[in-house]
Amino acid sequence: MTNSKIKAGHGIKSDSPGLFPDSGVLSYLSTLQCSGCGTEYDYHEIHTFCPNCQSPLLSIYDLKKVRQQVDRDEISSRRKGMWRWHELLPVQDRENIVFLGEGDTALLRLSNFAEELGLTNLFVKDESTNPTGSFKARGLAAAVSKAKELGLKKVIIPTAGNAGGAMAAYAARAGIQAIIYMPKDTPRANIEESRIAGAEVVLVDGLISDAAGMAGERARTEGWFDLSTFKEPYRAEGKKIMGYELAETFNWELPEVILYPTGGGTGLVGMWKAFAELDELGWLANGNRPRMIAVQASGCAPVVKAFESGSTFCDFWLGAQTIASGLRVPKSFADQIILHDIRESNGLAIAVSDSEILEAQKKLGSNEGIFAAPEGAATVAALIKLIEQNQVGKDERIVCFNTGSGLKYLD
């Protein structure tokens, strides 16, 4: 069978010719803008974070043109995957897109579990079906593709686990060298998948914050490009597509509540950005946006502490400890944006214990057949608490995010 005979949407997971349109504008990216001071930067150049105020940079698109030139409903008919939203992603040349099949994960209604909880509209967005088994594939697909476009040859990342595996996979496919710094007690699956993908893996006696310091130092001294959370502008763009997919699946009426496990916060910030873009594009049926619930582990809850104290930034969390390795982030580089977005959404931040996470993981498995990552199970544990606190309505549409597969946490 030749490529010309392969029909779109038949599950071919390759960045081969024909996957994306041969003509037309691939991306409407117009500038990079500092989330702190508003300074703009040229996206044709390599950028990390704002040199003036050291805040994350965000990708800004010409949404006026998108509104004029892109048909929202035509996007739904495109071949499945994250890149069908390419106009709202940062890659300019289709040859630079590194595709492993990411995106368009299932939104599953949890009827059995909802009944037990007394809810009527409970869903899980199951990100475990992404390449490398977690939502990290989305962000790293975007970041590595853009790194390729910018001519970068070597990338480095500190990770609590899944981001490392994802970066290794996309870097391998892009022909880019990769180094990964991860805590030595990172789940074995993350270590092995990174090594199998050809990355150099450095195990660190510490937390992701320690790994970040060491990776940053090596990046500076040896010229590796640092793909740390929010220390480059594009991972959030891949993650934001979760928000576009949700809007589309809910027929352009966003759900009332989203529970999201929050470590570095890329997904939460990305989705909130997506909702703002969707609003500006006029693609939503109404102006209602979800309440964003940031879920953390009680053994590492800097966002919860800052949210409850009214602070606009987080204190570094001392002695971070939780089985949910993706939530073991003592302080996100994007803490100010996370807190801003939660508050703007009228949401909140909530912590759950490891035992509550394990209990929720069992409930999700036995009620619905979903083997969730501990981070994903944490959202369900948080939901149980929110119901007890009367923080969610019985008939509200509630979406919990399962960010990865429980199969990656077997050691």
Partner 1 sequence: MANNVLYIEDNPDNMMLVQRALEARGYRLLKAANGLDGVATAETEPVDLILLDINLPDIDGYEVARRLRSSRKRELNSVPIIAITANALKGDAEKALDAGCDVYMSKPINIRELWARVEAFVPMP
Residues 300-339 that bind partner 1 (CB under 8 A): 312-313, 315-316, 318-319, 330-331, 333, 336
Task: State the Cα–Cα distance between residues 13 and 15, nearest whole angstrom.
Answer: 7
Stretch that binds partner 1, among 210-218, 353-361, 376-384, 400-408 (CB under 8 A): 210-218
210 belongs to the binding site for partner 1 (CB under 8 A):
yes
Q: Which of 147, 178, 207, 382 binds partner 1 (CB under 8 A)?
A: 207
Task: State the Cα–Cα distance between residues 146 and 89, nearest whole angstrom.
Answer: 10
Q: Phi, psi (5° rounding) for residue 110?
A: -100, 75
Stretch that binds partner 1, among 140-148, 212-220, 287-295, 397-405 (CB under 8 A): 212-220
x-or-dash pattern for partner 1, window 54-83, by CB under 8 A?
xx----------------------------
18 belongs to the binding site for partner 1 (CB under 8 A):
no
Residue 202: name the closest of 216, 176, 183 by CA.
183
Q: Which is nearer to partner 1, 138 or 231 (CB)?
A: 231
DSSP code per residue over 199-231: -EEEEESS-HHHHHHHHHHHHHHH--EE--TTS
Can you name the residues that pair with 123 across neighbouring β-strands? 109, 399
- Least Å from the CB of residue 40 to partner 1: 17
Task: State the Cα–Cα distance between residues 204 and 190, nearest whole angstrom.
Answer: 14
Q: Which is nearer to partner 1, 56 or 290 (CB)?
A: 56
For the beta sheet containing 348-352, the strands, ordered from the edge strand earlier in sequence to the opposite edge, are 106-109, 122-126, 398-402, 257-261, 291-297, 348-352
209 belongs to the binding site for partner 1 (CB under 8 A):
yes
Contacts of 407 (CB under 8 A, 6+ apart): 133, 189, 371
> Do the beta carbons of residue 77 and residue 21 sit within 8 Å?
no
214 belongs to the binding site for partner 1 (CB under 8 A):
yes
Token couple for 408: 């990656």
x-or-dash pattern for partner 1, window 114-153, by CB under 8 A?
----------------------------------------
Element (H, E) at 257: strand 257-261
Residue written as tokens 């149980």?
384
Q: Which is nearer to partner 1, 59 or 336 (CB)?
A: 336
> Hey, is 178 helix, strand or coil?
strand
Task: State the Cα–Cα distance between residues 106 and 92, nearest whole angstrom.
Answer: 28
Residues in the interface with partner 1 (CB under 8 A) total 29
Q: Which is nearer to partner 1, 320 or 380 (CB)?
A: 320
Q: Which of 166, 174, 176, 212 binds partner 1 (CB under 8 A)?
A: 212
Token couple for 249: 């699946």
Stretch that binds partner 1, among 46-54, 94-102, 279-287, 360-368 (CB under 8 A): 46-54
> Do the beta carbons of residue 328 and residue 263 sit within 8 Å?
yes
- Least Å from the CB of residue 183 to partner 1: 9
Q: Which of 18, 213, 365, 393 binds partner 1 (CB under 8 A)?
A: 213
Token couple for 301: 């809850």
Rg over alpha carbons for the chain, rounded to the nearest Å, is: 20
Amino acid type, 399: V
Q: Which is nearer to partner 1, 199 or 204 (CB)?
A: 204
Residue written as tokens 């041969």?
22
Q: Which is nearer to partner 1, 134 or 332 (CB)?
A: 332
Can you name the residues that pair with 372 across neighbouring β-strands? 405
- Least Å from the CB of residue 75 to partner 1: 36
**In angstroms, how far is CA 209 from the centroid of its own chain?**
19
Q: Which is nearer to partner 1, 101 or 161 (CB)?
A: 161
- Least Å from the CB of residue 53 to partner 1: 4
x-or-dash pattern for partner 1, window 223-242, by CB under 8 A?
--------x-----------
Contacting residues toward partner 1, per CB under 8 A: 36-37, 49, 52-55, 204-207, 209-210, 212-214, 216-217, 231, 312-313, 315-316, 318-319, 330-331, 333, 336
